[in-house]
Structure 1
Amino acid sequence: MNGNEFGFPPQYRLKKPAEYQKVFAKPVKSSDRYFTLLAIKNDFNHPRLGLAIAKKQIRKAVHRNVIKRTVRENFRIQQNLGNIDVVVMARREAVDAPLDTLRKSLEKHWLRLVSRCASCL
């Protein structure tokens, strides 16, 4: 296993506002007390990730950055997501949760979104 198999190159990220708007327009949703994830199918052969971690929900930049790193790392490890675009939004409760709890929550969301997006267009 080489290091490139688990990389997070730029083509795996949502960057442009239009890409985010497409996901926000008609998403498949999955949420719990820590995260809300929105997803749609894309035209690529790989998943793409976008983060929308609001200052209004999580005030301190340190906490926002920890959550973003945790989400990116968890996404990077997932290799079976298929061709979906996902936007992750965090809730206030994510600040106080242990990282292990956040990881488990994200893993449940990935599975849920993959099964729900399999039936969407």
Structure 2
Amino acid sequence: MIVESLTDSFSFARELRLLSKSDFSQVFDQPTRVGNRAFTVLFRSNLQNHPRLGLAIAKKQVRLAVDRNRIKRLIRECFRQQQHQLPNIDLVFMVRRDINQLDNAKIQSAIQHIWKQVAKKCAR
């Protein structure tokens, strides 16, 4: 049986997630911030050899659980596809209230815009 490493697969393994309070705290302490109409993203370099994703989708911003879950699915899927182009950073996605007015295609394009902003800031 051959086991693929994280760098070879496009899965969204547990190692690619921010799970603990301390993981999130490290990002919230001294973040670099990017954003657009739909999202605010905080990120910070990590000591891992891969990027990690955290989601902070507030009930205050997106009332219905079905909408929060849809947004999380879209973010995870875009991250899964983009993970090999991202530097070694921890990202925390937060939503803005305007996201309720956007359909899936517009949310995906907003996420793509975030990836470009992150790449630009990391290149500095």
Equivalence for 2:60: 56
2:94 to 89, 95, 101: 89
Question: After superposition, what is the alpha-carbon deviation per residue over 1:45-76, rounded to whole angstroms, capped at 9, x for unaligned?
Answer: 11000000000111110100000000000000
Equivalence for 2:11: 7
Higher alpha-carbon deviation: 48-57 or 23-32: 23-32
Equivalence for 1:37: 41
Q: Percent identity?
A: 42
Q: Which ranges in structure 1 are unaligned for 5 or more consecutive residues?
A: none
Confirm or deny: 8 A CA contact 1:39 1:117 kept in the other structure.
Answer: no
How far apart are residue 114 of structure 1 and its match?
Answer: 2.2
Question: After superposition, what is the alpha-carbon deviation per residue over 1:17-57, rounded to whole angstroms, capped at 9, x for unaligned?
Answer: 01101101111111111000000000011100000000011
Where does structure 1 differ by over 6 angstroms across 4 or more consecutive aligned residues? none
Q: Which ranges in structure 2 are unaligned for 5 or more consecutive residues?
A: none
Equivalence for 1:109: 114
Distance in 2 of aligned mates of 1:94 and 1:66: 11
How far apart are residue 115 of structure 1 and its match?
Answer: 2.3
How many aligned positions are there? 117
1:98 aligns with 2:106: no
Distance in 1 of aligned mates of 2:54 and 2:10: 17
Which secondary structure state, in structure 2, belongs to the residue aligned with residue 21 of structure 1?
helix
- RMSD in angstroms over aligned alpha carbons? 1.4
Distance in 2 of aligned mates of 1:111 and 1:14: 21
With normalisation by structure 1, the TM-score equals 0.91
Which secondary structure state, in structure 2, belongs to the residue aligned with residue 20 of structure 1?
helix
Which secondary structure state, in structure 1, belongs to the residue aligned with residue 25 of structure 2?
helix
Distance in 1 of aligned mates of 2:95 and 2:89: 19
